[in-house]
Structure 1
Amino acid sequence: MDTQHDIALTRALAEIPGPLPPSGVIHIAVPHTSRFTIVGNHLAQHAELSLTAIGIGVHIQSLPAGSKVGIKALAARFAEGETTIAAALRELEAHDYLHRTRERLPNGRMITRTVFCDQPAALLRGGAVMPVAVVPVTPTAVVTPVVPRPVPASAPALPPAPEPTPVPEEAHPPFRVPSRIAPTSPRRPLPQPREPSPELHRAASALLADLRRHAPELVLSEGDVEELVPGAAAWLERGAHPDAIRRALTTELPQPPKYPAKIVRHRLTALLPPPLPGAQELAPVRRTPVTPFQTCEGCDRAFRSPAPGHCRDCRAQHWEAA
C-alpha cells in the first residue's frame, strides 16, 4: 500500500505545471465532487484567531443545519477539553463568526439560538445572503448555506421540474442582521507620548526588550517592540519608574500566555497612569477665614465677632444710655 501511495504521489507531482518551489508546502488539488465545504481564507488564515478557533469554525461551517454545536457536544467529538472549546467559541463570537442568543419559544421554553456566519465582514457591509436552511425548534440550531450537490453522470435523467409559482415580494422579508452582529466597539489605541524624543524612544525600547529577563514568557519580537515603544514611552513621560512599569507588565500573567505582545499592549493601554500633577495642583487650598462665635457679656447671646464684647442689641442699649 505504501508503494502504491508513493507512486501515485510521484505521478501527481510530475503533473504539476512549472518548477516546484524549493521549500514550503506543495498543494496537490483534486476537485471534490461530494462532501465538501467552501471555507474563505479570511477564516482559514485569520491573523487573530487561534488554531483551535479556526478548526472549530471550519467544523461548524461544515455541519448541516440543526447540528448541536454546544460546548459539551464539541467536547464529546474532539479531544480538546470544555475550557479550550469555550475559549475558542468566544474568539469566534468576538470576530462575529458565531452569535448565540437566548430566545423564548411559544410554549415558554428558553433555548439558545446559534447562528454561524461564513462571511461576517460581507454581511455587515450589506452583502447578498444565500438561501439558508434553519431548524427553529432545536435547542441549538446552526444556519449554513444550502449548496446543491452535483448529480453523477450515470444517474438517470429526471423529469423537468415544474415552473415555480411566483411569490409576492412581501412574502420574503429582507434578511435583518441581529443586534448581536452589530460591530463591536473599536479597540482602544495604544498610548502615545506628547513630546517624543530619541532618548525616550531608546529607554522604552530597552525596557520592553528587557522584559524577558524578568518574565521568560514575555518574549517579544523586534517588530513587537517597535510597535509597543510609544506605549512604554507614554508611561515614562508621565513619570512612571521603570521598575513600576516592569511590575505592571509581568505580574500575574496567564499561564501559558499565548500572545505576549497582545498582553503587553493591553496592559500598557488599560493601566496607563495619569500625568503627574504640577506644583499648582499640589498647592494647599486656601480657605476663607471664618469669624468665630462670641458670647455676649450682657445677655449671654451668641454672636460672631473677632473679639469678645457685647452683641448688637446690647451695644445699642449702651449707646442710648450714654
Structure 2
Amino acid sequence: MADANLTAVPMAASGYGKRSAPDQAPRSRDDFAHLPAREAAIAAYIDRLPDGAAVDIKSLAKQIPAYGQQAVSTALNNLSEAGHLRRIRETVGEGRTQWVTRSHFSRTARDDAWWEAFLEEGEGTASDPVPARAASRRHPTRLARSAAYEALVRLGRTEPRLGLSAAECSDLEPLAGEWLARGATPDDLVRALTAGLPDLVHHPGAFTRTRLTEKMPPEAPSAPEPSLPPRRRVMECTGCGVPGRPEALPGGLCRGCRGDSPRPELPGPAADDVRAYVSELRAMARTSR
C-alpha cells in the first residue's frame, strides 16, 4: 500500500471523523482487490484507522505522502461509488441541535439500498470513544468507595456493637446500595440500623444483613425519562458535501460530482462580429506601415 503514517493519526473534532459501518466481514488480504491500486491503498489505510480519526482530504493527503489532495479527493469519490464510503450529517448532543458530519466506512462494499437503510435506521446512540486516562505507576489511585460502603463503615463509628470488617462492608454493599437507590440517605440508613440494638450483638455482619433486608424501604416511584427529539440524519455528497436524499445521491455522489451534469458553455461572440473585428485589425495594421 501507499507509504502511510499510522503512528501519529490525527483525530477529528469530537463527534466528527471516521465511523466504522456495522456487520463488516472479517479483515482479509483481498478486501480491496477489486479496486485500482490508488483506491485500494487509501481504502486499506482508512480501514486501519480508529473511529474518530480525521479522514478529510487534507488530513489523508498529509498522512499518505504518495498522493496529493486532488488524487485523494478523486479516490474518495471512487470509494463512495464502489460502496465503501458515505458521508452522513446528523444531529447530536443533549438537545440534538448540533449538526456533525461523519464519514462512515465499510470494509465490505455495500449497495445504495444498504446505505439508505443504514441512514433510516441510524447507528444507535453510541457516543464518541473517550480516550482512557493512563494511571500513574508511581502513585496509583485507589478506587473511590461508594456512598453505600461509606455508610456501612460509619456504623461501627456510630455504634461499636455494629463494627464491620472490610469484607463484611463489601458483602453488604449491594443491599445498602439498594436502600440509597430507593431514596434513603446514608444518614437514614445509619439511623435505621443502629436504632434499638440489643445489649449484645454476637455477629454484627449477620445482624446488619437481617436489618438491611427486613427494614428495606419501598421502591420509589420511577420518574418518566425525558424524551429526546428524534435524531435527524441526511446523506451528503462525498465529493462536494451537498446534502440530499439517498436516491438523489447514487454512489454517494451528486450529479455534478458524478459528471452527469456537464458544465454549461459560455456563449461566445457571433461569427459576423468576429469577422468584422479581424478586418478592423488588418486595416489598422496596413495603416501603421
Q: Which interval holds the TM-score relative to the shorter structure? A: under 0.3
With normalisation by structure 2, the TM-score equals 0.27
* Larger Rg, first or second structure (1 or 2): 1
